[in-house]
Amino acid sequence: MNACIRAVVKYGLQLGYRIVGIEDGYLGMIEGRFVELDYSNVNNIIQLGGTILGTARSEEFRTEEGRKKAIGNLRKEKIDALVLIGGDGTFAGGHVLSEEAGISVIGIPATIDNDIIGTDHTIGYDTCLNTVIDAVDKIRDTATSHHRIFFVEVMGRNAGFIALNAALASGAENVLIPEEKTDIKQLAKEILHQNNGQRSTIIIVAEGDDGGGAIEIMEKVRPLLPPGYDMRHSILGHIQRGGRPSALDRIIATRMGALAVELLNKGKSELYIGVQGEDLCLNELLSKSTSTAKLDHLKLELLKKLQTQ
């Protein structure tokens, strides 16, 4: 997200605007935590993970009273346009602000889950995916050396993009995702087939899989395999949410940030930016499309074909 903040500040200042950062999102908006940003604030941040402005959930913002405080603070700071970096909740909040306060808003999708329709990539997803692949590559070394079956749990409570693409890129033997019902007996059969003569088996498990997390899946499979199969689990957890952003994330975030300023400069509002292929695209800020997953089932079919070899 820092690459995006940097682009908004630099391009906004170039066009002559006063740029203000809001600490911790809607919570900071309610509490009046604003900081004017200039070039010095955004130098040397493009390589940093996370966000220099911070982020936080705000239940108070969901109330009319909370939003009145936020709107009052925005008017006090003479803020008439917002660039929103986040997901569905962030966009929904921006839509309400636009309606209640007449403030122009442009959204930029940032979520490691990559579950926003209208964009091939969200900010953070590629970095997360590379972190997972690096971890799985390391796990594969010990799995191969010790002839083990590893169940690796990745993030993805409602969407399986991280799990599916990590499985493809790391050469995993199987993947379990929320979009597909898990058949434990069939999984055990596939493990027996795949592990015959192999030195390792990697199974990627999305945390939101209907069969459970990596530990639960492993324990369900254990009694279905012959004695002697050495099974282990690894939960990658929040390492997936940090680290230096990838080149792709930096480039996408920078392009989206600059376009957001350009759109606001032209008087546009109620839109969020996406990327399709090499091109940026525009979507309505609040629509059903932003709340549903977009899993590419062609990739899932490819992985299934590879599992049968």
Amino acid letter at 79? I
Q: What token pair was written down for 3?
A: 């690459």
Whether 45 and 2 have beta carbons less than 8 Å apart is answered as yes
CA distances from 171 to 38, 148, 156 (A): 45, 15, 19
Q: Any idea what the Cα angle at residue 258 is, between residues 257 and 259, rounded to 5°? A: 90
N-terminal to C-terminal alpha carbon distance within the chain: 41
Integer Cα distance of 282 and 207 in angstroms: 31
Please list the active-site residues: 113
Whether 163 and 222 have beta carbons less than 8 Å apart is answered as no
Q: Which of 150, 282, 144 is nearest to 200 (CA)?
A: 144
Q: Three-class SS of residue 146?
A: coil
Phi, psi values for residue 106, rounded to 5°: -130, 130
Q: Which helix (H) or strand (E) holds 189?
A: helix 184-195
Q: Which of 243, 221, 238 is nearest to 230 (CA)?
A: 221
Q: Which helix (H) or strand (E) holds 27?
A: helix 25-31
Question: Could you tell me which residues come within 8 angstroms of residue 272 by beta carbon, excluding any fewer than 6 positions away?
Answer: 84, 91, 106, 107, 108, 109, 116, 118, 282, 283, 284, 285, 290
Integer Cα distance of 40 and 62 in angstroms: 34
